Amino acid sequence: MARFGETISAILSKLAQLLGITPSDRRRNELLDQKLATAKASNIDRLEVLKDKIKQFEAQALRKKGEYEAARGDTKRIVGGEIERLFRDLDRLHSQEKVIASNIERISVAQAKLEEFKAAQTKGLEEGELDDIALQLQEVFDELKVADRAARDLERVEYEAPKSTPVNAEQRMAEVSGEQETTSGLSAETEKRLKRLEFEDA
């Protein structure tokens, strides 16, 4: 049984360290519960903030579509670029949304496993059963580490500016005057997403 005590102590120490708790704290289990509850509430709040941002970006994209359709020449290209950037931002936010939702699920699992561990201590289960709980808690801890790393990586996302191309002055003047349709516009994927937003907004 001593071997299990050392194993679970090491696992809880690692999880406590991840959450900013001193591993030697004698109230570690209680503090872990508090920290996990706080982390869960924080992630739920972040999810709500993300939902609001996504709604704002979608509304901006729809407004820009009207501006894009009325524009010509370089103005049309600029507005088209703004719409493309809005959808890149939306993609980034949706990626964050997935990570946060996964964090909430993993924290819930960690909370359940900690409760199971405390109950096991009280009941005095067999060593094999306690070892199973220890391994499951270790898996949850590893998943939380991966999710934490993924959340940090999303904050470092950068987009490269498009490369400059030679200017055809005659064509550009014809586009500005309305004699020729602007050839460089939205990507097919962005067109499709705008139509879907319009349908959902109707």
The whole-number pLDDT of residue 187 equals: 81
Q: Are the beta carbons of 6 and 130 closer than 8 angstroms?
A: no
To 5 degrees, how large is the angle CA 60–CA 66–CA 67?
Answer: 85
Domain ranges of the chain: 2-71+93-158
pLDDT in tens, 96-143: 888 888 888 888 888 887 787 777 767 766 666 666 766 776 777 677
Per-residue DSSP letter, 179:
S
- Higher per-residue confidence, 32 vs 24: 32
Q: What is the mean pLDDT of residues 83-99?
A: 88
Give the DSSP H or E segment for 167. Answer: none
Separation between Cα atoms, residue 56 and residue 200, nearest integer Å = 14
To 5 degrees, how large is the angle CA 197–CA 58–CA 69?
Answer: 70
Q: What is the mean pLDDT of residues 3-28?
A: 52
Separation between Cα atoms, residue 173 and residue 170, nearest integer Å = 5
pLDDT in tens, 131-171: 676 677 677 767 777 766 766 666 565 545 445 455 455 66
